[in-house]
Chains A and B, each alone.
Chain A
Amino acid sequence: MQETIKIVFTGSVGAGKTQAIQILSDIEVVSTDVEASDEVRELKEQTTVAMDYGEVQLDDSTLLALYGTPGQKRFSYMWDILAKGALGIVIMIDARRPSPLRDLQMYLDNFRKYIDESCLLVAVTHSDQVPDFNSKPLQDLLQKENLPYPIFNIDARNHKQVLLLIESMIAILQAA
C-alpha cells in the first residue's frame, strides 16, 4: 500500500504557489484555476479557487503530494482540508502587496495549529520589484509568535531557490 505525505503551499494571490509546485512536481500540476473576476485580475488572469496539486514519487511505496491552497480568504474553507496532516507548511508572501506583514499575520493565524504540528517556511517573492522592501518586520513577527523558522526572499521560478525551501524543511524536521 502506498503511503502519501504532503507539503502545503499557501500564501497571497500571485505569490507563486502554483509555480513553486510546478518546479518540484513530477507531473503537470493539476490546477483548479478560473478566470479572475475581482481585484486579482490586476495581478493575473487566472486564479486558484480550490487547490493546485502536484506530486513526487519518492519510491515505490511513498508519494509526496504538493498542495497549493487558494490565496483569497474567502476560499479559506479549503485551507483546513488541505493543511491537515501536512509535513510542512510553506507560506508564500508577495512583497508587492499593500501589507505583506498583515498577509503573513493572517496566514499564521489561520495555519497556526498545523504549523505547530509540523514546520513552517516563509518565502517572500517579488521583493526585487519593491526597492525598499524590508523583511525585518516579517522576521520580528515570527519571533513575536515564537516561530523560529526561516524567511527567504526567493524567485518562485528559480529551481534552486525553491529547492532551498525543501532542503531547509528537511533540516528543520531532522533537527526536531
Chain B
Amino acid sequence: MKLGIRLFNQQEKMHLEITCKQLVKKCQSYVEIAPLFEAEAVVVSPKDPGFENYLDAYRQGKVAKPLVYSETNNNYPYFLQKPVTLEILRQTLDNLPNRSLTRDTQYTKGVLNKVKKLPMAGFRQGLFLNESQVLAYDGKSLCFRINQDYLDGCEIKASILKAVEQAVVIPLSDEQIKKIQVSPNFKKVAVDKFLWRLAFLQEQPAMVATDKAFQLSRWPNFAKLGYSNEHLRITASLIKTPVTIKELHQQYRIPVDVIRRFISACDAIGLLKDNVQVQENAKRSKKIVEPIVQKIFDRFFGKKAY
C-alpha cells in the first residue's frame, strides 16, 4: 500500500509519518509513504488550501483517492479519524478498497484554468513542455518547461524534481499551449527564481520546528532573486554556523514567519545543508553592533538596522 501525505500542518504530517513507520515495523511493509504521484491513497486535510480542488480532481479520476484526515466524517469518500493512532490507521487502511489507481490514471487530461488561485507548494497544477525553463502563467496557474539536458546539469535538480513530484501534472494540447504562449501575461522566469518566489508566495510557510538548526551552503544570489534586509541578516548568520529559528528570532527580532519562509525558499533552491546540528561550543553571544557599521547603514539606508 503506497500512501501519500499532503498535509500542510507539519506537526500533523510528522505524527502521521511516525504512525506509518510504526505500522510498517509491526506489519512488515504493510504501508509505505510514497510520492504523491505514486500513491494509491493520499491523506488530505479539509483545513488545507486546495482541498476542494483535490476532491474535484479525484472525482474526475485524475488523482489518487483522498483519505480525508479530520475529526468528523462529513460524508467524505474515504476518511481517516484524527488524531490518528496506530490502530485507527491499521483499520482504515484495512477497509480501503483494493482497487488502486495506477500512475497513468493520475495523468489524465485536464484544463489549466481549473485553478482558481496560485497553488500551494505540494499541490501545483503544472504542465511539461520539454523546454529549458520554468514559466509562470497568469498568476493563477504554473507551467513547467523542463528540458532533460538542462535538468541533468542543473545544480538544483533535486529541488526541481521534488517540486515536480508534488505537482498534479495536467498535459495540455498543442492548441492550449499556443494559446498560453501568446497571452500578454505569459513570462519567463528562471527556474531558481521561480522556486524562490513560490516559497514566499505560500499562504502559510512550512511549519518547521523552531528549535531545528539550519545552515546555508552558500549565499543566495540576491541580485537575481530579490531580497529584504532581513534576508541578508538571516543569511549572514546562517552561513557561518547552524542556527535555529528560535535563535534567529531572538537575536534579530525578525518574525518567525519571515524566517520560516526564507528557510523554505533556500530549501527550494537547494541551499540548505543537510543534517546540521547546533554546536554546543559555538554558542553565539549577543553581538555588539559596531557603531561604525551602524553609521554606514544609517547613511545609505536611512533607518536603524536594529
Name which residue of chain B comes closest to A148, CB basis: B239
Contact partner of A170 (CB less than 8 A), chosen from B223, B237, B305, is: B305
Interface pick from A34-42, A69-77, A89-97, A161-169: A161-169
| In the complex, B162 has a CB within 8 A of chain A | no
Query: Once the chains are docked, how many angstroms separate the CA of A111 from the CA of B151?
Result: 36
Q: Which of B217-257 contact A (CB under 8 A)?
A: 217-219, 221-224, 227, 229, 232-233, 235-237, 239-240
| In the complex, B155 has a CB within 8 A of chain A | yes
- Asked if A174 and B222 sit within 8 Å, CB to CB, the answer is no
* Given contacts A151-B219, A153-B223, A170 and B287 within 8 Å (CB-CB): no
Q: Which of A15-31 contact B (CB under 8 A)?
A: 24
Query: Once the chains are docked, how many angstroms separate the CA of A142 from the CA of B229?
Result: 23
B contact residues vs A (CB 8 Å cutoff): 155, 217-219, 221-224, 227, 229, 232-233, 235-237, 239-240, 287, 289-290, 292-293, 295-301, 305
Residues of A within 8 A of B298 (CB): 58
Query: Once the chains are docked, how many angstroms separate the CA of A116 from the CA of B260?
Result: 31
Residues of B within 8 A of A46 (CB): none
* Given contacts A173-B293, A174-B233, A150 and B300 within 8 Å (CB-CB): no
Contact partner of B236 (CB less than 8 A), chosen from A24, A142, A174, is: A174
Residues of A within 8 A of B219 (CB): 148-151, 168
Residues of B within 8 A of A3 (CB): 292
- Number of residues on chain A facing chain B (CB within 8 A): 34
* Given contacts A136-B155, A139-B218, A143-B218, A166 and B235 within 8 Å (CB-CB): no
Contact partner of B240 (CB less than 8 A), chosen from A148, A150, A152, A167, is: A148
The distance from the CB of A89 to the nearest CB of chain B, in whole angstroms, is: 15
- Asked if B223 and A166 sit within 8 Å, CB to CB, the answer is no
The distance from the CB of B294 to the nearest CB of chain A, in whole angstroms, is: 8
The distance from the CB of B261 to the nearest CB of chain A, in whole angstroms, is: 18
* Given contacts A64-B296, A152-B223, A174 and B235 within 8 Å (CB-CB): no
20 more contacts with CB within 8 A, not counting A151-B219, A168-B219, are: A3-B292, A58-B295, A58-B299, A59-B295, A59-B299, A62-B292, A62-B295, A64-B299, A148-B218, A148-B239, A152-B223, A153-B224, A161-B223, A164-B227, A167-B232, A167-B297, A171-B235, A174-B233, A174-B290, A175-B236
